[in-house]
Structure 1
Amino acid sequence: MTDRSVAVLAGGLSHEREVSLRSGRRLAAALRESGVDVREWDVDSSLVTQLRTDPPDAVVIALHGGEGENGSVQAVLELLDVPFVGTAAQACRRAWDKPTAKAELAGAGLDTPDWVALPHSTFRALGAQAVLDAMVDRLGLPLMLKPDQGGSALGAQVVTDRSEMPAAMVSCLAYSDTVLAERFVRGTEVAVTVVNDGPELRALPAVEIDARGGVYDYTARYTPGTVAFHCPARLDDATQARLAETALAAHRLLGLRDVSRMDAVVDEEGRVQVLEVNVSPGITETSLLPMAVRAAGMDLGRLYSALVERAIARSRFT
């Protein structure tokens, strides 16, 4: 791949900018080790001009949150006919909106924790406390309150008492206009990466997440030493197989492409409860995708080099 030029897009203006920059640097280094000519581009108002005047052979998106996952950057790349690794714009939008994705998953028969999503305007018009009480009455406690869009667990909080609901709602609304209240599921938290670097879509070994504080929040995700990871997860073969099947089914159902990561909980009855599916998994030193890649005996740079080749080949037939 020494004759390929690849632009890694990172940074941007979302709340996850710093995480994205870390992902971008690690991915760029891995691709360079595989012999790829890599350009690292921050995403700002110069992006379209850069793509027009100095077009790479392909783009790899290492953006997290905002335009990098909601389909906006992908739509621009599609407008400019620039090959890119990752999910097409329309499917990005579907996966980015958590209530929409959960409804599709549930409609297809996959398990996902019961939920309700309400915009800020509903709390304002009907009275925040009355609506929050109705959420608790319907879903019970504990609850996970989180923004309906976004990643890295920003704004997410576990609520164990009614008195905590108002503060949790405010935390969510700092990152999105809609609050997603989801029944908190006790069990083993896992992440399963799906890749399509060859002829067949495949699931990599599941990563088990054992957060010291009991919740895999933003601090736990990006502070080394606060979480114990096990890959493969410490689950029996049958459960591992169900996790892989569920991740593959979710990837196909939502129309995702190249790479995704399913976050889930294996509940106390052994059911796989899908929390969400990410179109731009993190690639930092504490991220889950690189752990799964290592456990599968793969090299991160070679994996993404193969995905780049697929993106370029795909563009020739569209």
Structure 2
Amino acid sequence: MKIVVLAGGLSPERNVSLSSGVMVAEALRSRGHRVALVDLYFGLENWEGTPEEVYDAPAPEKWRRVDHTAPDLEAVKAKRKWKSESQFGPGVLELCAGADAVFLALHGACGEDGRVQAALDLMGIPYTGSGHLGSAIAMDKDLTKRLCAQVGVATPQWKLLEYTEGEIPALSQSLELPLVVKPMDSGSSIGVSIAHSRAELTAALTAGLNFGGRVIVEQYVSGREIQVGVLEEKALPSIEIIPKQGFYDYENKYQPGAAVEVCPAPVDPKLEALLEETAQKVHTLIGLAVYSRSDFIVDAQGKPWFLEINTLPGMTPTSLLPQEAAAVGIDYPALCERILTASLEARKAGR
């Protein structure tokens, strides 16, 4: 098949997405597909060949690496020659329209929140992963937790805050500690802080202004960090993440050796069954398709607390879903092809 792998985009998770895109493109090529790897935001503006020749172009080496810090999006914008507000760079939609399918290697607010999926739906272009509505719901941490709480899924107490800089002192004094402060619609732990003191809470809320002053403040639950993937609507083995220092933040996620990852997670069979059941339950509840990854904290009493669900899990060299798939004998190229095949079936079924 002719497949366009869309990566990059204008998101704080842009560099993670580019690394995922390189891996996916090379994996699909190894399975005999013709693959065009394209940055959603820049498109073909720096491409000197024909659009068809993009299918034979090697991946830029710099896209393989994930930097220690998230990119400066204003600097990214300044580099684009085409001064348009469009999130789609020059030639992107035309290239997608000429392909058999689009593999979404996008992460974060640009690509994982349903807007790209909706545009492709309107154009009749099949793509991988969940549809536009499920993607939009899952990206909204507040709405996801509301839905989960209503059906008995244990999730830490939370509150959605919308505030200005002038309101931070009062909020810092009134909120009960300890708290996790996270952007309402971001991923890869970008902008996430754990506040144990009033000073830390003030700093976290101040940092939240960079995300529009719209954050989730969530009850901090201490425990083991365990995540469970779903592939073709069935749960994969759980994986435990043990950061060597701090918590599982952006740097610990994408820098090799920063965390120990154990798959299958060393948990008793009853807990494993409950984790897998809950991941599948949330996946179905939100209306997701093909694959996802749910994040949990298991407290000292062995109770799992659902945190959030990701509709386009990372596919970088250090990402978790590929490790979970490998634990049941699915290698990386086979995983990419299964996602592609199942997604085409989901689109035909209207999911």
2:344 is matched with 312
Q: Does 1:43 align with 2:40?
A: yes
> Out of 207, 220, 224, which is 1:171 matched to?
207
Decide which of 145, 162, 170 is 1:102's aligned counterpart.
Answer: 145
1:207-246 correspondence to structure 2 within 5 Å: 207-246=239-278
Is the Cα–Cα contact under 8 Å of residues 154 and 175 in structure 1 kept in the other structure? no
Counterpart of 1:174 in structure 2: which amino acid? N
Q: Which whole-Å CA distance do the structure 2 matches of 1:303 and 1:286 have between them?
A: 15
Give the CA deviation at 1:27: 1.1
2:290/2:346 contact within 8 Å kept: no
1:176 Cα deviation from its structure 2 partner: 4.0
Counterpart CA distance in 2 for 1:256 and 1:175 is 26
Number of residue equivalences: 302
Note if 1:32 corresponds to 2:64: no
Q: 1:205 aligns to what?
A: 237
SS at match of 2:110: helix
Measure the CA separation in 1 of the matches of 2:299 and 2:124: 43
Unaligned runs of 5+ in 2: 42-88
1:61 pairs with one of 96, 104, 107: 104
* Contiguous gaps of at least 5 residues in structure 1: none
Give matches, 1:92-171, under 5 Å.
Answer: 92-121=135-164, 124=166, 127-136=167-176, 141-171=177-207
1:294 equivalent among 323, 326, 330: 326
Aligned-pair distance for 1:314? Answer: 4.0
Deviation, 1:49, is 2.5
Q: Is the 8 A contact 2:7 2:21 kept in 1?
A: yes
2:12 to 15, 25, 40: 15
Amino acid at match of 2:282: A
Matches within 5 A, 1:239-254: 239-254=271-286
Question: 1:317–1:218: structure 2 CA closer, same or farther, 3 Å change rule?
Answer: closer
Can you list the C-alpha shifts for 1:227-273, whole angstroms capped at 9, x where unaligned?
A: 01100001111111111000000100111111100011111222210
Q: Separation in 2 of the partners of 1:266 and 1:317? A: 36
TM, length-normalised to structure 1: 0.91
Letter in 2 for 1:207: I
SS of the residue 2:171 aligns to: helix
The equivalent position to 1:276 in structure 2, one of 304, 308, 315, is 308
Identity across the alignment (%): 38
Quote the residue 2:298 is aligned against: 266
- Contact 2:159 2:217 survives alignment (8 Å): yes
1:174 is paired with a residue of what secondary structure?
A: helix
| Whole-angstrom CA distance in 1 between matches of 2:288 and 2:325 | 19
Compared CA separation, residues 116 and 259, structure 1 to 2 (3 A): same
* SS of equivalent to 1:84: coil
Kindly provide the CA deviation profile for residues 133-155 of structure 1, in whole angstroms up to 9, marking residues without a partner as x.
2222xxxx321111111011111
Show the counterpart of 1:79: 122
Give the CA deviation at 1:132. Answer: 2.5
Distance 2:346 2:277 in 1: 25
Residues in 1 aligned to 2:235 and 2:197: alpha-carbon distance in whole angstroms: 37
RMSD across aligned positions (CA): 1.4
